[in-house]
Every structure is written in C-alpha cells, then in structure tokens.
Amino acid sequence: MSVAYDPQNIFAKILRGEIPCHKVFEDDVALAFMDIMPRADGHTLVIPKTPARGLLDMPADALGPFMLRVQKVAAAVKAATQAEGLTIQQFNESAGGQVVFHLHVHILPRWDGVALRPHTGQMADGEVLKAYAAKIAAALSETTSR
Ligand code: AMP
C-alpha cells in the first residue's frame, strides 16, 4: 500500500519558504539547494515542485522535466567543484534509506580515492554552504548562457 504525501515534511517547508536553504537553482519545476549535512564538498539536493513522496508516485509527465533539471544542476556541480566524477543517489522509503519524504536527488561530487563522509548528523558551516551555493549557481548560469 502506498503512503500519502505529507505536506509538513521539511522539503515542502523549504519549497514554501517557511525554512531557509542555501539555494542553487529554482524554476517552475525544481529547486536545488545545498545538503545541510554534506557527505562530500558541494553535496547538492534537487527536489521537484510536484508534491511526490518518492520516485514511484512522481507523475510521469513531471518526471522528465524534473530529471532534466537534475542533469543541468549535476553538470554545474561538477564544473563548480572540479569533481572527477559524480555519485547520484535517490532513496525511497525508510527501508530504502529515505529520511525526508519529498522526492529528492543527491548530487555528490567525487574524486578518485576520496570516500564519502559518513552521515554524522553534524551540520556544515553556513558560510561554507553559502559559498558553494554561489559557486554552483554561477557555473549554472555559465553553462546555460553558452
Ligand atoms: P535522505 O532522505 O536519506 O535522502 O536524506 C535526506 C537528506 O536531506 C540528508 O542528506 C540530510 O542531510 C538532508 N537535509 C535534511 N534537512 C535538510 C535541510 N533543512 N536543508 C538541507 N538538507 C537537509
């Protein structure tokens, strides 16, 4: 049985502007912002404006446009952090590792031989996240103006 979308989840609150975030990108389809407990430098989240709990309840017609935003933000994250690669993660339900129940895609910059940091529950320095957000946003406007 599928579980209903809860509009009180933290990412819905971020979408409504009730909770702040370090914003990287926003349009009518998606919002991208820095993960507050980054597992890699430049760890970015992309969420759809459509209220979906996970991948499986995302309406088919909204999925394609959303994934195009994920691709676009991923390219900017890679360029801004000069990463050698990217790990893209998306979790569904507690058993699948999901903690926040609004569909989100993790974009994790990667470098050879550098492991992801464990989830410690430790929040990153706001100034550091702000600087990454600005750098990625700048790379985004560069890649889209080309
Ligand atoms: P998961 O649902 O397992 O994909 O994990 C949710 C992710 O959201 C984790 O990586 C958290 O660090 C991140 N997170 C939780 N609350 C916030 C917040 N207020 N702003 C940014 N990222 C958050």
Instruction: List domains and CATH numbers for the chain.
Output: 10-111+121-145 (3.30.428.10)
Two tokens at 145?
A: 């103006």
- For atom 15 of ligand 1, the residue with the nearest CA is 36
Q: Residue 2: pLDDT band by 50, 70, 90 thresholds?
A: confident
Model confidence pLDDT, tens digit, residues 60-104: 999 999 999 999 999 999 999 999 999 999 999 999 999 999 999
> Is the pLDDT score of 144 beyond 70?
no
Residue 97 Cβ contacting ligand 1 at under 6 Å? yes
Testing ligand 1's pocket by substitution, the residue of 94, 100, 108, 117 carrying the most ligand atoms inside 8 A of its CB is: 100
Q: Which pLDDT does position 119 carry in this prediction?
A: 86
CA distance linking residue 30 with residue 35, whole number of Å = 15
Rounded to the nearest 5°, which phi and psi values hold at 63? -70, -45
Of the residues 43, 104, 106, 119, which is catalytic?
A: 104
Residues 6+ apart with CB under 8 A from 15: 31, 47, 49, 102
CA distance linking residue 33 with residue 38, whole number of Å = 11
What letter represents residue 124's amino acid?
A: A
Burial category of 62 from C-beta neighbours within 10 Å (exposed 0-12, middle 13-18, buried 19 and up)? middle
- For atom 12 of ligand 1, the residue with the nearest CA is 37
Q: Residue 145: pLDDT band by 50, 70, 90 thresholds?
A: low
Q: Which pLDDT does position 29 carry in this prediction?
A: 98
